[in-house]
Amino acid sequence: MLELRPILSALWRHKVSALLIALQLGLTLAIVSNALVVIDERSERISRPTGLAVEDINSFSFLAIPEDYDKFEAFRLDLDMIRSLPGVASATISNHVPLSGSGSASGFYTEPNKETGGISANYYTVDEHFIDALGMKLTAGRGFSPEEVMQVGATSSERPTVAVVTQKFADEVFPEGNALGKAFFLGGDDHPIEVVGIVERNLGPWPNSSVAGRGVFYPAIMDQWFYYIVRAEPGQRDAVLKLVEEKLAERDPNRVINADTMEEQKAQQYASDNTMIKVLASVVILLTFIVALGIVGLTVFWITQRQKQIGVRRALGATRSAISRYFLLENLIIAVTGIALGAAAAQVFNGFLASEFNQPALPPIVTISCALFLLGVSLAAALVPALRAANISPATATRSV
C-alpha cells in the first residue's frame, strides 16, 4: 500500500475529472438499481397467471344490420354451430372478454342496502359453458345449469340469484372463509345472490387495475353487450379463428363480424409495461457503456500525461505489474467513492419513486449486485489502458532530456 499516498496525491491534483467519473458512476448506480427494480416488477406483472387458456382463446362480436334483428335466436344458432366445428373445444357468450381492456365493475357487500365499505369487482354475464370455454379451474362448488341462464333484454327486470366468483373475491368479501353458499349484495340493493361456485383465478379485463383478480360471473345472456368466447384445441387457435369467422358470415351475412385472439388483447393490456421494460433496459445498457467509455478515456488521458513519470518509475525498477496495479488501484478508489455516493442516492431516489409512483422498495441485494457489477465494469474498462501503461519503455524518461 506504499502506492496509496502518491495515488491520492495524483487524484487531488486531478480532482475535477476524478470527481466527474465518481459522480457518473454514482448516478449510474442510482438509476440502474432502481431501473432493475421497475423492470423486475413489470416483468412479474406480465408473467402473472391469468387463470385463463390465453393461448387457445378467440373472441368474436358482431354488429347486426337489420334493426329488428333477433339477437337471442342468433346467439343460440351461432353457438350451436360454433360448438360443432372441428378444432373447437368449448364456446360461451359473455358481456365482456377478460384481458380486453373493456369491462364492467361494481361494488359488492355482505349486507343488503349498503353503499359504502364494499369490495369492487369485475362482473360478467355468461352461459353454462363459461368455465370450460375460458379454461378456468373450478376449485369449489359448481358451475351453472342451463336452466339458471337468463335472457336479459333492455327492459328485463329479472335478476340472477346465483353467481360463481373468483377465489380472490371470495377471500376478500368473506375473509372468515367458507364463501360457498353465502350471499352477497349489490350496492344499495337487498336482492341476495348466492355463491354456488369458486374459480381459482381470472384477472379480469383490466389486469393492471386495483380490481384485477376479483370477478363475479352471473348466469345471464345480454343482448346489449355480447361476445362469443371460443377456446380451440391446443395448437388450433388460428385455424379456428378463421373457420369461425367464415362460418358466422356464411350463416348470416346481415352483420359485420369482428374477431380477436386473447393473446393479442393481453399484449395490448401489457403494451405499456413491455415498452417500459425495453426503455429501461436500453437506459441501463447505455449508461453502462457511457461509464465504461468515460473510464477508458480518463485512464488513457492520465497515462498519456504521465508517460515520462511512468518511464522514470520503470527506469528505477518498477515492474510492469506494479505500473498496472497503480492505475487499477487509482481507478478502484474513484469507483468505490462513486459507488458509495450512488448507493445513498439510490435509496433517496427509490424513496421518491415509492411515494410518488407507488414503486416497490429497493432491496439491498439489488444495490449490492449493481454496485459489484459497476465495480467490475470500472476495473475492466481501466484494465486495457493500465496494461498499455505497463508496456511504456524506461527510455521514455530520457527522450525529452
pLDDT in tens, 278-315: 999 999 999 999 999 988 888 888 777 767 676 666 66
Cα–Cα distance, 45 to 216 (Å, whole number): 22
Residue 227 has pLDDT above 80, yes or no: yes
Which residues, in sequence order, are bridge partners of residue 185? 109
Write out the residue range of the structural domain in which residue 235 sits.
70-253
Say yes or no: 297 and 382 in one domain. Answer: yes
Range 233-239 average pLDDT: 97
Structure confidence at residue 322 (pLDDT)? 75
Q: Which residue has the cell 360454433?
A: 82
> Is residue 22 one of the residues assigned to a domain?
yes
Q: Are residues 291 and 392 in the same domain?
A: yes
| pLDDT score, position 67 | 67
Tell me the three cell numbers of residue 270. 401489457
| 392-397: Cβ within 8 A, 24+ apart | 392/303, 392/307, 392/310, 392/311, 392/314, 392/323, 393/311, 393/314, 394/311, 394/312, 394/314, 394/315, 395/311, 396/307, 396/308, 396/310, 396/311, 396/314, 397/308, 397/311, 397/312, 397/314, 397/315
d(C-alpha 343, C-alpha 375), whole Å: 12
Q: 233 with 363, same domain?
A: no
Place of cell 339458471: 148
- Structural domains in the chain (count): 2
Are residues 143 and 244 both part of a single domain? yes
Q: Given 190, 223, 253, which residue is the final one in a domain?
A: 253
Domain boundary among 253, 281, 301: 253
Q: How many CA atoms lie within 13 A of 176 on its CB side?
A: 2
Supply the pTM of this predicted model.
0.83
Do residues 192 and 183 lie in contact, with contact meaning Cβ atoms separated by under 8 Å?
yes
Q: What is the pLDDT of residue 100?
A: 96
Q: Residue range 35-46: average pLDDT?
A: 95
The pLDDT score that the predictor gives to residue 80 is 97
Q: What is the pLDDT of residue 69?
A: 78
Clarify whether residues 127 and 232 are in a common domain.
yes
For residue 53, being part of any structural domain is answered with: no
Among 68, 56, 59, 73, residue whose Cα is nearest residue 251: 73
Mean per-residue pLDDT over the chain, rounded: 90
